[in-house]
Structure 1
């Protein structure tokens, strides 16, 4: 009886070790292999046109990030699966294996400590102004006049850059982007400065203003975040894919297609290909 109990205990240990080994193997499966076995590419999405937009009527996700994700899923022979996250939770979602990729996620030193990024940027955007239609703006100097009032978000890159360049203009600083734009909407200022993509939806809502990238252009690159893992197959494939889309002009095409569907004339807003600026 004692021997029998010892045998049962031994089998239990072997069984539990087998389960643990299988679990470890499952956890160690690379993103590339998991996508193939799952048959889905899980793309992080959040309501933020022109990058991601959930149509309230159809519940379908469109926008540039969705277009890139759908194209990648088609190339991989799997389904596109949007998974709602926020910009603040996207990194944690990648780490927790809730999503496979998040587009339009800037590659910062802090984020690079937690997740991986392909070497090729997904797109470029720049510091812009949404300004009164009657202002002639080509350079930052065109705004550096004592009768010009410009709104910025306090303590941001926009605040630092504009403050350093526009020493003659009146700069009004606000706690949030929304309040800075509201100042332009109420005509308390002649212009508001933000990186250009958010200004597109804001201009549409306000119904007036021109979006300009004053020279010299202060540009930034945006990327795609993926989970950090030993197997770099998926990260390297993403790098090849977004490089191809960018260099062939397809990324810009998707961007303009969304703008058209969103009721915005693409010719009235800056491109996301810096070669087009």
Structure 2
């Protein structure tokens, strides 16, 4: 029995030494495992796309504005791993990167369709969905949009693309590959309105002189942290982390710094 006891004690000692040798995250081995699950490369690769305050607004500095960018940076800090923002041209590319595991996290609308392809933490931000119309438009409310002959722009693969495909009965969707293309379409009057969340609409309105966001809303986006399927063991961390960044005011501060408008339920 003494030899068995000795072997067991040695095994426990080895386990303790192994744990101590790892970089601590919140102070114990279980949390180190969470870092390995959520950031298996040792870097938290965050999928982002430019042109919207919900993701990232590059400004040539080391600390760009954007709610997604800010949340990712704090998440990497708490996991004690390097932060690696990966910027794509459009959100559809970010979503594909999450699905394939090319990125570790993204910050996007947690729609039921997307939840089949990736896992989400709790919602940290709700934003109104609306329309942006060019200068001189006679439209005044979201209820005026769905009429025969009208062309409504959406970003390819977006929530607006999927939802309005079912909801618009008379107007026609026109897909824009990126937000930059949407701006060009509005300026060229190729579309009568562009649909997405109001945070993005107010941002691109600054690039289209005379444009305005219509009164009312046709829905809401519920933004949450997305991770690839197969990493569900990290969801408990996402739940506590999301609650913390809301309670601490990090979400609301990031939204204010980014100039984000159209919030339904601000982060607290």
Q: TM-score range by the shorter chain?
A: 0.5 to 0.7
CA distance in 1, matches of 2:138, 2:224: 33
Q: Which residue of 1 aligns with 2:66?
A: 63
- Indicate how the Cα distance of structure 1 residues 30 and 136 shifts in structure 2: closer, same or farther if over 3 A, else same: farther
Alignment partner of 1:163 is 2:168: yes
Q: Which residue of 2 aligns with 1:102?
A: 106
Q: Which residue of 1 aligns with 2:101?
A: 93
How far apart are residue 42 of structure 1 and its match?
0.6
Q: Which residue of 1 aligns with 2:8?
A: none
1:157-180 deviations in Å (ceiling 9; x for gaps)? 35436623xx5xxx3542425565
Q: Which residue of 2 aligns with 1:18?
A: none
Q: Which residue of 1 aligns with 2:6?
A: none
Query: Where in structure 2 are the equivalents of 1:75-224 lying within 5 Å?
Result: 76=78, 78-84=80-86, 86=88, 87=94, 88-93=96-101, 99-104=103-108, 106-109=110-113, 112-113=116-117, 115-118=118-121, 120-132=122-134, 139-143=141-145, 149-153=150-154, 156-157=161-162, 159-160=164-165, 163-164=168-169, 171-176=171-176, 181-187=183-189, 190-212=192-214, 214-215=216-217, 217-224=218-225
1:184–1:190 CA contact under 8 A, matched in 2: yes
Structure 1: gaps of 5 or more residues: 1-28, 260-265
1:151–1:191 CA contact under 8 A, matched in 2: yes
Q: TM-score under structure 2 normalisation? A: 0.62
Q: TM-score under structure 1 normalisation? A: 0.61
CA distance in 2, matches of 1:256, 1:47: 19
Query: Where in structure 2 are the equivalents of 1:221-260 lying within 5 Å?
Result: 221-229=222-230, 232=233, 234-246=234-246, 249-259=249-259
- Indicate how the Cα distance of structure 1 residues 238 and 144 shifts in structure 2: closer, same or farther if over 3 A, else same: closer
CA distance in 1, matches of 2:143, 2:38: 53
